[in-house]
């Protein structure tokens, strides 16, 4: 009732308590028949792959125990939202999706690939094409102004989930997330035609939480910027190191009563007092208000 286990390339699982999608345990391949057995707090994996030629690292029987400090990322076959978004988390710079205990599904932004219910998000400057394998592409692209920074969550403390504050985008100037998607275009070749989607009412206001953490160990006063949400300045001359009490410490700023709109815009402007360090943002949580 808590965990589904199966093979998904490597050993796979679905956490029924978090409903965050499919995750993988890398390094070994589970059997063609289900051989991942959870009992007594241990995930048992008897070796059912002795005749398999796949070059997985661990080709033996394993017994695994839960370790909350291990990074766990997931993917999902759920499609892009077609109704107004009521709750979503944008985990900037993260390597995958993950559901929080409070019910927010945090999505890797920009997407690193794989199936995911990604909303329409426009980032300025534009991130590099994840499907481009040209080594010179990041250097030659204007998107080189945008940088992904990651640290292991075990190094982070402070507010917010460490797996949210452990990654960030630096150099971000503007992010636009579509909260009210356009109606889906029906496929005329579909047989039978799907019933029309009845639109749900759009939320009138949202609570927006901005997650920050200094991941490049700058000193107070070195990275200062202002943040505007929905066209209104929410944070003026914000210094994440000073506000959090040091680097590698998460801090959350909550904004209530943000007016609902088709597109929510968040912009970051560096302060003239600190022109050398670009703005940093780790996560954005958007929750509809009742």
Phi, psi of 141 (to 5 degrees): -85, 145
Contact partners, residue 160, CB within 8 Å, separation at least 6? 211, 213, 250, 251, 252, 282, 283
User: Is the bond leading into 110 cis (omega within 30 degrees of zero)?
Assistant: yes
Residue 48 has pLDDT above 80, yes or no: no
- 83-140 pLDDT, tens digit per residue, is 999 999 999 999 999 999 888 999 999 998 888 888 999 999 988 765 443 444 444 3
By three-state DSSP, how is residue 105 classified?
strand
Q: Structure pTM?
A: 0.88
Query: For the residues of 51-62, what is the DSSP string, one character each?
Result: T-----S--S-E
* Cα dihedral 223/229/234/235 (nearest 10): 0
Contact partners, residue 124, CB within 8 Å, separation at least 6? 172, 173, 174, 175
| 25 DSSP β-pair partners | 11
Is the distance from CB of 86 to CB of 202 less than 8 angstroms?
A: no
pLDDT on residue 44:
92
* Mean pLDDT (the chain, rounded): 88
pLDDT on residue 144:
52
Average pLDDT in the 210-226 region? 97
Least confident of 43-57, 131-145, 233-247, 254-268: 131-145
Residue-range domain boundaries for the chain: 3-65, 77-288
pLDDT on residue 136:
43
pLDDT on residue 171:
95
The token pair that represents 238 in the structure block: 């914000």
Is domain 77-288 in CATH 2.30.30.30, yes or no? no
């Amino acid at each position: 009732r808590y965990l589904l286990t199966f093979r998904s390339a490597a050993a796979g699982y679905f956490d029924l308590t978090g409903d965050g999608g499919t995750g993988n345990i890398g390094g070994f391949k589970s059997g063609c028949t289900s051989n991942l057995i959870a009992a007594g707090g241990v995930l048992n994996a008897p070796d059912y792959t002795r005749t398999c030629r796949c070059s997985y690292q661990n080709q033996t029987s394993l017994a695994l125990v839960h370790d909350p400090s291990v990074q766990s990322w997931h993917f999902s076959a759920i499609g892009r939202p077609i109704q107004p978004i009521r709750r979503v988390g944008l985990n900037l710079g993260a390597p995958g999706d993950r559901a929080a205990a409070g019910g927010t599904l945090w999505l890797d932004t920009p997407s690193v690939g794989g199936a995911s219910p990604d909303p329409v998000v426009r980032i300025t400057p534009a991130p590099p094409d994840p499907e481009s394998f040209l080594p010179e592409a990041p250097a030659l692209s204007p998107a080189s102004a945008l940088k992904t920074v990651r640290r292991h969550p075990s190094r982070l403390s402070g507010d917010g989930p460490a797996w949210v504050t452990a990654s960030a985008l630096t150099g971000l100037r503007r992010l636009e997330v579509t909260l009210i998607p356009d109606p889906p275009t029906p496929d005329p070749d579909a047989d039978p035609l799907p019933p029309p989607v009845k639109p749900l009412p759009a939320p009138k206001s949202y609570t927006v939480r901005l997650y920050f953490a200094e991941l490049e160990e700058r000193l107070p006063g070195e990275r200062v910027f202002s943040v505007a949400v929905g066209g209104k300045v929410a944070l003026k001359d914000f210094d994440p190191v000073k506000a959090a009490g040091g680097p590698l410490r998460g801090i959350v700023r909550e904004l209530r009563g943000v007016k609902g709109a088709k597109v929510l815009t968040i912009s970051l402007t560096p302060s003239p007092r600190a022109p050398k360090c670009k703005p940093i943002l780790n996560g954005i949580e958007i929750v509809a208000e009742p």
